[in-house]
Amino acid sequence: MSVRIKPVARRNPLKPTEAPKYYAVPDGRDVATLDAVANQISKISSISRGDVYSVLLTLLDVIPGELLDGKVVQLGKLGSFALNLKSEPAETPEAVTADKVTKAHIVFRPSSELKATVSNVHMITT
């Protein structure tokens, strides 16, 4: 599998007077919609597009509840989802309270198999 890349100029925020340097980024950030993914899965399996779509939507309903219950949602070779928090620092463990939490967000950690698949990709300059 190949990924097209393109150069993008970026300045060093610590050295704003220096000329920008160029970095490779993926070219063409098209979107794979839920419908498109369901179609692809149904084409390579014995499951209908509607059934795949239903399972994916149900997964989107289930994951947030599991995360809010304090669980890590492990999806095998895909990876895992976990809830992560940002909070203000406290001087003692007793001072860490809910009002210190400033943000909650979801973190996805890909499995080693998924990482390996992406790391073995061939790059093509556009």
- Burial (Cβ within 10 Å: 0-12, 13-18, ≥19) of residue 113: exposed
Q: Quote the pLDDT of residue 126.
A: 74
56-92 residue pLDDT tens: 999 999 999 999 999 999 999 999 999 999 999 989 9
Give residue limits of the domains in the chain: 72-120
Q: Quote the pLDDT of residue 1.
A: 67
Residue 26: pLDDT over 90: no
Termini Cα distance of the chain: 15
Q: Quote the pLDDT of residue 42.
A: 94
CA distances from 20 to 16, 24, 27, 92, 126 (A): 9, 13, 19, 44, 20
* pTM metric for this prediction: 0.72
82-107 residue pLDDT tens: 999 999 998 998 999 999 999 999 99
Scan for tokens 């369901």, then name that residue.
38
Instruction: Work out the mean pLDDT of the chain and round it to a whole number.
Output: 91
Sign of torsion, CA 73 36 112 86?
negative
Cβ-contact 81, 108 below 8 angstroms = yes
Residue 2: pLDDT over 80: no
Phi–psi pair at 15, nearest 5 degrees: -135, 70
R_g of the chain, CA atoms, integer Å: 21
pLDDT bin (cut points 50, 70, 90) of residue 19 is very high
